[in-house]
Structure formats: structure tokens, C-alpha cells
Structure 1
Amino acid sequence: MTPVPSSFGLRSVDRLVITFLIDNSLEWFTKLPAGFTHELPQHLQHQNPPLKTHPVTGVPVLDLNEFCCGAHGFSALIETQISGEDAHLTLFDTGPDSLSLVRNVKAMQIPVGKVTRVITSHWHADHTGGLLSFLKLRAHNGSECIVDCHPDRPISRGMARGAQPNIIFASLPDDPTFQEIEAAGGVVETHAEGHAVAGGAVWVSGEIPRITSFEGGIPGAKRWVEEGGRGQWISDELILDERYAVIDVAGKGLVIFSACSHAGICNVVRDAVNRFSRPIHMIIGGLHLAPPDSAVRIEPTIDFLSRQLIPAPNFVLPMHCSGFYFKVELEKALGDGCVPAGTGIKVEILGDRELDSRLFSPTIV
């Protein structure tokens, strides 16, 4: 059966493999659902990196210098396969710095030369900080690597606290410039609108509609702008350059990557459901409910995901900036559907086209 593109160019896939390369957390031992594999078993099975033998005991030694590290940020390698076609490797975000992604790519034995596209979810350094180091790592592979990003790159982004809204207490490191990306071997491709990539297997959103009443952006977020030779900080609470990515797995439904959810995960899900009329199989990424001023959003967010969205997602993977309390409360609502994912974990999702006709469009009540 040939996968039929949706009106937005998204085609359903027969196989999706996700490798989490950057997350705040490492999870080595927690129980995971079928299809999820911890980092350690992957190394033991494939002997990558090769295990050394202890000189006295003769037992294999786990060299922790060769394993993944956690970092405040997000990055996921997305492998998509449509039956009868070549697989595509797409990197979604690159973590916060020049060290962690390179280390973890090597630890997980990622074939960097086969990654043909990097998608940046938005212009924040904890999602773009590893971009240049990744491009330099694969620069001598001879193939082009497209960097898919929003055209509105800010000069700088900073934060103010609620009691002092005009005092910027810190700014993030500057995101890579378009010129720096090209110098490192990337091919800049800017998109403000939604579009399909990876042979139609991955859809990258445009601006996320802000509909949900309790998802009002990020209080205190600021952006530096310049006009007429003068610069100033302005309010940037909506982070309008943020985008999500989605894959449709045959017989399962949509897998959504929302790296930081500044727009609100309910708004992200609403947009995906409205566009594709497909049930949600899995939600992945930072849900930005860790900050104290986001606590009031936790209960209505969980209510939306577990009760208002019908059917509810099969799995939610709250990562990066989701927050401990949100994870605890979400587990109460979803049980094993709340998955403790982290750096180094691999997920394989196999499609089933025979089941596809049995899926029905979700509703939001």
C-alpha cells in the first residue's frame, strides 16, 4: 500500500526510530514500555564502544567516559522509513553547548554523515548551542547538511523577573548566525511556514496558533532589537519563532516533537489535530512546566491531555524543561503512558497499515 500524502504533504511512515541525544536526565534503570531501550543494553549488545576487560577480574568494564552525558537542552535523532524507500536521518535540535552533543553522538555511534537535515525548533541556545560543533563533526563527509530554521533569528534573548520587569538579569548565549552555520558546512534553509521534509515523512510547523487561555507564553522573556543605530530590550513572551515537528506512523498516529513548548503543549496538540485529523500516539519533549510561575498550568494541561483529548495520547515523554512535579502528576493521570525518557534511550515504533483504517479522528471536548 502506497502512503498517501495529507493536504500538507505529510506521508505516513512504516518505521520510526528515535535516539535521544540530549536531555536534562539520564535514565538507566527505570522500567520502560516495549520498543524503548536504555543506553546500556545498546552498548552491551553491539559492543559499541568496545568493552575493555578488567586486568584482575577478567570481567568487562563499563568505561563511563564513553557513555552519554546529560545537559540542559534537547536533541533527538529521528530516523524515518517508508516501505520501499530509503530511510532519512533528521536531527531535531542540538542541545546547549559544543561538548555534550559531540560526546553523545560518538557514544551512540551515530553515522553523522547520513544526517541530511537539522531542524531547529526555535532560537534559544539550549536548543542551538551544539549546532556548529555538530556541523564541524560531519563537515568532511562530502554530503550537504541542510539547517532548517526560522528566518527571524534574534540578536539576543534575555530574561527579567516578575518583580523587576525592566531589569534583565541574564541573557542566553547568542544563537549561531546564518553566516556561522554556512562556514561550518551547513546549508541554511529558512521557513516561517509549515513544510514537509525527509521525503514527506516529517512535517515542520509554522507559527503555532495561540488558542488555549491558560497558555500565555513565558513571563519575563525579552528580546534585543536595534533600529536607527539604537538598541533596546522588548517583551518576547510568545517566542513566535517556535516550531514543532510531527511524524505520522501508519496504524499508530502522530508522534509530536515539541522541544520546549513555549507556545504551550495544548496549543501544539490542538494545531496538529486540527491539521491532520489523526490520533496522537506520542508526545515528546520539553513541556516548560518546571518554572514556579508555570505551576498553575500543570493541572489544566494534564486535564487536557488525559480527559479533553479523545483518545488520549498513548504515551507522553515529558523531557527537558517539563519539571519533576509535572511528571509526578502526569504519571498519576496516565500511568505507564507517562514514560521516563532521557539521554541515550532509543525508541522504535513500527507501523501497521492494516490497522490504519481503524484509527478515527480525535476530538477535543
Structure 2
Amino acid sequence: MGALRTVDQLTVTFLVDNCIEWYRPCVSLDAVCRCAVITYSWHMSRMTKLPPGFTLELRLHLSEDHKPPIDPLTGVPFVDLENYCCGAHGFSALIETRVDGEEPHLTLFDTGPDSRSIIRNVEALQVPVHRIERIVLSHWHADHSGGMLALLRYRSRSSTSDTPRCVADVHPDQPLARGIAPLDKVIARLPADPTFEEIEAAGGLLETHSEGHAVANDTVWVSGEIPRVTSFETGLPGAVRWINGEGGSKWIKEEDIMDERYAAIDVAGKGLVLFSACSHAGIVNVVKDAVSKLSRPIYMVIGGLHLAGADFTDRIPPTVNFLANQLRPAPTYVLPMHCSGFAAKIALESVLGEGCVPAGVGIKVDVQGNREEEQTVFPPSIA
């Protein structure tokens, strides 16, 4: 596995996220009531405005490729809500990387929280599951690993005998159990992650990696351990891990979640597109590591920023300041998803404007590279 290669095209399809953003209301209000409706409709239209290259789920379903059901009464396509995507507390992104003159590669980054949402959504979006070469698991939390076994089994049923097995790329340090312990009292454990044995029994080809490595013919970088260098990003408060040791079985504090990894793709003429599923390491630490390791500017930041809730309120201002003012050049787009939280989204939108994109499940993103513009890509710096 070599160094990260630059790609000519990146396509991302969000298969699992907490939010759904598939409808753009009309701002023509001649036939509707005025007053509050005007304000609401304008606000919703503004918030769902997407940049070039972003496609809402509704448009995907109504395209000829998806063959939407036609209403026999009116002759127009149905909005077939029974078979649209559903939201779920988790994250999964299908990453397609393409270098001109070569076959594209499909990599799945995380699998959502359960066996139902991932399957419903891949069917709704008509994903060619048999072409997925590798599942990269960001970290051992069930809202990211919960759909892995169902996806692998579904892929096996969708494949022929000569289809290569799907690689399951995971961190080797799998916990026995993880729990939630606010105020040092364990109130619950998270659902079990799939074991190594279950992954292989479901058709996966297990690979464990603790170091950074390139996959998908070196078009996707999967990080190793993320260095913790900021003073304000201090992990996940109340996180605990179950261990069996000489002193017996017990819960221990584990707020750093050191098995977490991010993924990066380098798009020609633009820079890095980063996927950070939960940012337990802190998104600033993630960005700093990517800049240090890959020496490329950050074009887009995607995924959970884990800034939701009272425990993370103080982290929002320095995070926003870093992304908007200290990182140079600043990211063109930030897509705060999953566990980012409403307050963080509002704070990012206030400084980035339309550079803060309200993405959600079902949205497709096409990033087109341009090798002729490579000379205009400035090296990154951090103030």
C-alpha cells in the first residue's frame, strides 16, 4: 500500500445520518397564505440551498435512472415515501473514487447503527452493493458498526461466486464493551460491536490496522492514531470501557477513544476531502493531523463534529475559529452531520455562510477535479 494518489472525481452518497434533507420548498407564495408562512417557507428554502455538485434525494428518486413509479391517474411520478431513505442516529458514507483511465473504487465509511436503516437506504438509493470493495470502520461504537453484519450479508446475497470478498478494515483494539457514565455512574452500555469472527462469518475479509494506510488503489487514506495536540478537545466525557484483568472485571474511564480513525481523499485542483465520523479526537486535531501527514489544503470537512450537548459548548468557539480563521486556506465546505449538534451548525453557518452545508441522508455529492488547476492550490498553513 503506497502513498495517497490524487483523484479526478469523488462521489459521496450519504447512506446513514441523523438528518434528512430532501425537500426544497417553493418560494413562490402567490397561492398560499401570507404572514408566518412566508417567513417559514423562505427560511426552509434558504437552509436547503445546496452548492453545485450536491443533489437532493428527491431529485435522485425522480430521475430516469431510478425508474420511479408512475401514477396511472395523472401520468406523473409518485413521491414514493414508502421506499425513501430513513434517518438514524449514526453515520455511513459511500465513497466512490475515480482516476481518469482507471476503474472507479467504492469504499464504505461506517455502516450506521442497526441492521435495518443501512439496508433500507441502500435499497432506496439503488446502491450497487456488490461493487463495495471495503468497509472502513471509523471506531468501535455501535452507531457506526451496527449495520456492518447486515450489509455484508446483503452484499453476499447480491454477489456472484466470483465476486471478491468485501474487506472489513477495522482497528485491532476492539473493546469487550463500552458504556455511558455521566457523573461517574454507569447508566448503560452500548450495543455490542460485531466480533472478528462474526465479520468473517458474514462474508467479510478481516483486516486490522492501527497505522495509516492507503486503500482503493491508493485513492483513499485511512488514518492511524490521531495525535491529541489541542488543549480544548479532551475526548468524550463519561465514556467507559469494560475490561477483564487480574483485578477482575470492571469499567474503566476511556474518554480518548484512541481507536478512532478518519479518511481522506485528495481531489485534483481542490485538496483534501476529510471524513470524520464522530471526531472524538476533536475535528481540529483531525485537520491538523491530515495537514501534517498529507501536506494538502482542506477542501471539505464531512461528518460528525461531536459538539452537541452542554459538555461540548465551550469547544464550539475555538473549533469554529480554527476552521474559519486559523486554517489557511479555510475549507471551502464544512458538512456538520450526525453528532455535530444544532448550536455548532448555527455557529459554523454564521461565519462560513453557504460554506456550511446542511447535508443529510440521501444526498449525493460530486466533486470534480481539475489537474490544470493544481498550480493554483496553495499549501496549507495554520496560524
Tell me which interval the TM-score lies in, with the shorter structure as reference length.
over 0.9
Shift of 1:279: 0.8
Partner of 2:28: none
After TM superposition, the structure 1 = structure 2 runs for residues 149-164 of structure 1, keeping only pairs within 5 Å, are 149-162=170-183
1:175-213 deviations in Å (ceiling 9; x for gaps): 000000000000100000000000000000000000010
Structure 1 CA distance, aligned partners of 2:248 and 2:217?
44
Structure 2 CA distance, aligned partners of 1:108 and 1:60?
16
1:224–1:233 Cα contact (<8 Å) kept? yes
**Is 2:26 aligned against 1:9?**
no
What secondary structure does 1:68 align onto? coil
1:127-152 deviations in Å (ceiling 9; x for gaps): 00000000000113132100000000
**Is 2:17 aligned against 1:23?**
yes
Partner of 1:128: 145
Candidates 314, 328, 337, aligned match of 2:355 = 337
Structure 2 CA distance, aligned partners of 1:240 and 1:226?
19
1:283–1:315 Cα contact (<8 Å) kept? yes
Structure 2 CA distance, aligned partners of 1:56 and 1:304?
55
**Is 2:86 aligned against 1:69?**
yes
Shift of 1:271: 0.2
2:68–2:78 Cα contact (<8 Å) kept? no
Moved over 3 A (4+): 55-59
**Is 2:101 aligned against 1:101?**
no
Structure 2 CA distance, aligned partners of 1:161 and 1:110?
39
Structure 1 CA distance, aligned partners of 2:217 and 2:93?
18
Candidates 315, 319, 338, aligned match of 1:301 = 319
What secondary structure does 1:10 align onto? coil
1:213-248 deviations in Å (ceiling 9; x for gaps): 000101110000102483100011000000000000
Instruction: Provide structure 2 residue ranges, at least 5 long, that are not aligned to the other structure.
Output: 25-47
Partner of 1:359: 377
Aligned residues: 355
Amino acid at match of 1:214: F
What TM-score do you get using the length of structure 1 for normalisation?
Answer: 0.95
Candidates 194, 198, 208, aligned match of 2:216 = 198
After TM superposition, the structure 1 = structure 2 runs for residues 140-179 of structure 1, keeping only pairs within 5 Å, are 140=157, 141=159, 142-162=163-183, 165=184, 167-179=185-197
1:64-105 deviations in Å (ceiling 9; x for gaps): 111100000000000000111110000000000000000000
1:52–1:62 Cα contact (<8 Å) kept? no
**Is 2:196 aligned against 1:181?**
no
**Is 2:51 aligned against 1:33?**
yes
Structure 1 CA distance, aligned partners of 2:51 and 2:378?
24
What secondary structure does 1:233 align onto? strand
Structure 1 CA distance, aligned partners of 2:203 and 2:82?
28
What TM-score do you get using the length of structure 2 for normalisation?
Answer: 0.91
1:49–1:107 Cα contact (<8 Å) kept? no
2:68–2:77 Cα contact (<8 Å) kept? no
Structure 2 CA distance, aligned partners of 1:101 and 1:47?
21
1:30-59 deviations in Å (ceiling 9; x for gaps): 110000000011111135253231x54444
Amino acid at match of 2:63: Q
Identity among equivalent positions (%) equals 61
2:323–2:330 Cα contact (<8 Å) kept? yes
What secondary structure does 1:293 align onto? helix
Partner of 2:102: 85
2:14–2:361 Cα contact (<8 Å) kept? yes
Amino acid at match of 1:87: P
Pair 106,49 (structure 1): closer, same or farther in 2 beyond 3 Å: farther
Between Structure 1 and Structure 2, which shows a larger proportion of strand residues? 1
Candidates 285, 303, 313, aligned match of 1:285 = 303
Aligned-pair Cα RMSD in Å: 1.2
Amino acid at match of 1:155: L
What secondary structure does 2:138 align onto? coil
Structure 1 CA distance, aligned partners of 2:69 and 2:347?
39
Shift of 1:324: 0.5
Structure 2 CA distance, aligned partners of 1:299 and 1:49?
46
1:249–1:255 Cα contact (<8 Å) kept? yes
Partner of 2:39: none
Partner of 2:128: 111
Structure 2 CA distance, aligned partners of 1:49 and 1:191?
41
